[in-house]
Amino acid sequence: MAPSAGRPPTRRRLLRGWTALLTGVLLLLGGLTAASPAQAASLTQVTGFGSNPGSLNMYSYVPDNLPANAPLVLALHGCTQSANDYYSHSGWPKYADLYGFALVFPEQPSLTNPIENCFDWGTPSNDGRGKGEALSIYQMIQYAESNYHVDPSRIYITGLSAGAGMTADLLADYPDVFAAGSIDSGPAAQCSTTGITNTNCTSGTTSKTVQQWGDLIRGSDSGYAGPWPRVAIWQGSSDTTVNPAELTYNMDGWTNVWGIGQTPSSTQTLTGGTTENIYNDGSGNPAVETYSVSGMTHGLAVNPGSATDQCGTTGTYYLNTICSSYYTAQFFGLAQGGGGGGTGGLAAPTGVTVTGTTGSSASLSWNAVSGAAGYDVYRNGTLVTSSPVTATSYTDSGLSGGTTYSYTVAAVDSSGTVGTRSTAVSATTTGGAAQCFTDNNYNQVAAGRAHQTLGETYANGSNQDMGLYNLYVTHTLKETSAGYYVIADGTC
């Protein structure tokens, strides 16, 4: 059963957990039919995952020895494609094996749509919360939670073209379900109410303000006020099927619901002629990222090869430019191994030191780790290096003035396996006045302003008790000196 759209957001994750538990009990005691979880690392069809009102197929790829509480990624194919196409070409299975997460590939098998095998991102009866195809995909998530024992707080979604349109809609329909998503060559969320042949939503001719794009997202789950999923948006600059303006429209809507501006916090150039723009939230963490691939037409960016940042195979709508799945996995945080550190055998770097700061940058250095081919650097728990750096130093730029950031470093071996992360160090950029940060306790800890012990949250520096470590208890913290926070509810 789909959760009610009117249910208070603070209860949704608890109810989802009870739903998943009840589903498992019914399967055991009531004799309901459902496929067993895949035992071998291969693409496997799953049946009996729910009432399936959208008449979709479900396929899973579950790496061998997947640990409990692993992340889950849903990957949605484009028109004229299948789950097997996306599995075979996108490169996602490589990273499921490398980083340890489960994959679900929803499939639209119908030939009745105007275009063959298209997810219906443009019809409210299919792309609304608790309805049609959207509900079928949510039921796949419930099945994975019950049978693969994935972490409900680390559910991610990505899709190409029509799959990207459905991804954008699902992020808006179920913002309480997804931690992050990636929209690859697709229209803006909830652009169409008249079906997928509404060319205004793919030609870039739909004229809306930033606020209106944000309102479409907010209206998908009325009454929900956050936290919002983080969103990556990929687009080829020469795409004639989905106009590159859709990248801007998607960025406008998601930055608007996050309450941040439309000017990038930082910009960098990646391989394949790709320009990455990063839009940070108020705590300096990436909330929205865009990737514009110069000269790429319509499709998913892949880059065949054996290097860690290479993936996929070329084919129709799979274009050799850059491995988007690798960079999306980094944006999702999947390379972190899921528990605050890598899973490899390399030791944590020692001697991590802040060597200098400016109003917009922080420089770090650390001691070399034997066997390391490079190093990943994390700011406030989020990977900030687009690929492992080979030096034992790094300068992080595009930061906000007068802001404290927490950094950790992990060694990466030649196979791309990430080792244990270092002890965190704090860097405060110069300039700016004392800042206040209002957020839930979970995010305060993730941002490096607080820490948790035995389920209780404490402000860094002052060690004031903030209550339970969860998404529902919210406080305002004021940084009175570098790395020293006090509770300042109602006073900032």
Catalytic residue set: 161
What residues are paired with 436 via a beta bridge? 478
Residues contacting residue 212 through CB under 8 Å, at least 6 positions apart: none
Position of tokens 């390391």? Answer: 372
Q: Within 13 A of 107's CA, how many CA atoms are on the CB side? A: 21
227: preceding bond cis by omega (within 30 degrees):
yes
Q: Could you give the angle at which helices 132-147 and 162-173 cross, rounded to 10 degrees?
A: 70
Q: Could you give the angle at which helices 132-147 and 12-29 cross, rounded to 10 degrees?
A: 70
Here the contacts of 450-454 (C-beta below 8 Å, separation 24 or greater) are 450/477, 450/485
As a whole number of angstroms, the distance between CA 83 and CA 43 comes to 9
Residues contacting residue 84 through CB under 8 Å, at least 6 positions apart: 43, 59, 105
Sign of the alpha-carbon torsion through 296, 299, 300, 303: negative
Backbone angles phi, psi at 404, to 5 degrees: -95, 130
